[in-house]
Structure formats: C-alpha cells, structure tokens
Structure 1
Amino acid sequence: MVRKSPIAQGWTKPPSGFICVNVDGSIRAPSGLGLIGGVFRDDSGSWLLGFQQTMGIATAFTTELWAIWTGLFLAWENGFEKVQVQSDCRTAVDMVMDGHAPSSPTPLVRAIAAWRERSWFTEVIWVPRERNITTDKLSKSQNCSNRDLTVLDQPPSFLFSCLHRDRTGAVPPS
C-alpha cells in the first residue's frame, strides 16, 4: 500500500512583487446558496483586504469561477498590477488558464479571460485545499441574508490564528 505524505497546511507565497489573492467558493447546505470569499495578501503574507459574497442558488463549480472573477475585479479596482490568484478548484483553474478561455462556451470563463487580457500581469494557479484554509473559513462564515459584495479592510478576528499560521507556519498559543 502506498501512503501519501500529508500536505502541509499554510499559505503558498506568491513570487516577489506579486499580490496573492486566495479565493474559494462553496455551497451552504441544505439551501444550495453559493458562498464566495477571498483574501488579498502581499508577498510577505500581510493582509491587504478580503471579500465575501452570497451568490444565490449555485453549483460549487460556479461559485469557484465567481470567486476568481471577483478576486480579479477587486485586484483591478485596487490598482494591483501583478496578481497571482490561488484557487483549490483544479477544474476552474484549468479552464481559465486554457488558451481557449476567451472563446469558451462558458460566459463566466470568457469574463475571467477578459479581465486577464487587460494591461497587467495575472496568473491563476491551483493550490491544495490545505493551503487555502483561511479563505475557506472566510467564505463559509458569512450571513447568507446579505447578497452584497462585502469588502473587508481588516481581517475578522476569527481569522487571526489562521493568518498567523499562514505567515509563520506555526499555530499561536491560545
């Protein structure tokens, strides 16, 4: 029997000079409401901003695409010029990074491709779920009655230990 070694938890640092946008989408059971969230950090791991939104009834895959789109939208709106989006949905990453994304039959993939074609440098990469825990917690924490995009200038207190672990690789003392 082959044993897989565990994947280290924590954050995947972007290249120097890049802003990292970790994104995640999920579905709240049993309502089927789609939830998205994102965390923006500089290349040292410092919080820049975050976002949350309830999307309405959706599929898990659609929420992942909306999270990528929203991350790129906010990155552009905030003037970031070098952006690495990190998602734990390999299918979504593969679709948006495919050379045929601008002509995809999926409108949201085409919309993401349009953001990426602007005058800036972007890449969308896959990261293991274990390296996206902070964003997963953020996306799942929201109040589903609010459908507006919420931009967070400061991290919510429930993310402090996750952010500390991401930056240092250690869990802070309680």
Structure 2
Amino acid sequence: MGNSTPFEAEAWALLKGIQLAAHTGYKKVILESDSTMVVNYMLNKRRPSTVAHNILEGCKKELKVFDAWKLSAIPREQNNAADSLAKIARNFPKGIHILDSPPEVMKSILEDDIEGRPVWRHICNTN
C-alpha cells in the first residue's frame, strides 16, 4: 500500500477485506477492526478529514452488495492473528497475497485463538 498513516492502512485493510469477501460470494459478513477510528467513521460517528475519507466511503459503497453486515471494534489483543499477519506481511512484496495455509509461525497463534486463550497486555507502571 506504500507509505500511509496507520489510519489509512486500517482503512485500506477494511476495503480489501470487504472486496475479498464479496469476490468469494459471501452474502453476510462480520467485520472486526482494532481501529476505533475506522469503526466510528463507518458507523457515522466520526468523519475524518484525511485521505482515509475516500477509502472508507469506498468501503460503504462496497458493503451494499451484502445482504447483512456487522462491523465492530475489538481490542488489539483480540486481533492477535491479524496483527501478527500484518507484521509478517512486511517481508512480502507489495500487493495482495492470499495464502493457502497459514505461515508456520501463525499456527500457535491460531490454536490459541480457536481455544479462546487470552492474550495479555503487559503495561509497565513507571509511578
């Protein structure tokens, strides 16, 4: 996606996810993002004045192909698999990559996700 702000990258990720779901023929989708700014914009709670505005307007138009959709904000800890994939993707050439199977380093993360094991956030208190 080239150089972009984290907000723009989250907006692009949502758009590409919507397009992929539509292309594969899904009629009902549940979308999750750890970007509350993206979710708030999509649910008409906030209007950004950035490049992401056009991307998110594209998301709204693309969502019209679905019979039903739901979008919610989730904490980054609940989005561990997606966050880890994004870090792995830094080593891929630019473009969209659809994997037939998860990378080896993802297997334990996916197992934890399937089993519902929590991922804890470690915060250092400097007081």
Tell me the TM-score normalized by structure 2: 0.81
Matches within 5 A, 1:16-27: none
Structure 1 runs (4+) deviating above 6 angstroms are none
CA shift for structure 1 position 109 = 1.3
Give the unaligned 5+ runs of structure 1. Answer: 1-54
How far apart, in 2, do the equivalents of 1:100 and 1:61 lie? 13
Instruction: Quote the residue 1:18 is aligned against.
Output: none
Aligned residues: percent identity? 27
Instruction: Quote the residue 1:69 is aligned against.
Output: 15
Aligned: 1:112 with 2:45: no
Instruction: Quote the residue 1:56 is aligned against.
Output: 2
RMSD between aligned residues = 2.1
CA shift for structure 1 position 99 = 7.6
CA shift for structure 1 position 170 = 4.1
Instruction: Quote the residue 2:74 is aligned against.
Output: 127
Q: Which has the higher helix share?
A: 2
SS in structure 2 opposite 1:58? coil
Q: Which has the higher strand share?
A: 1
Instruction: Quote the residue 2:114 is aligned against.
Output: 167
| Closer/same/farther in 2, CA of residues 99 and 115 from structure 1, 3 Å limit | farther
Q: Does the Cα contact within 8 Å between 2:27 and 2:65 map onto a contact in 1?
A: no
Q: Does the Cα contact within 8 Å between 2:40 and 2:46 map onto a contact in 1?
A: no
Tell me the TM-score normalized by structure 1: 0.60
Instruction: Quote the residue 2:31 is aligned against.
Output: 85
SS in structure 2 opposite 1:155? coil
Give the unaligned 5+ runs of structure 2. Answer: 119-127
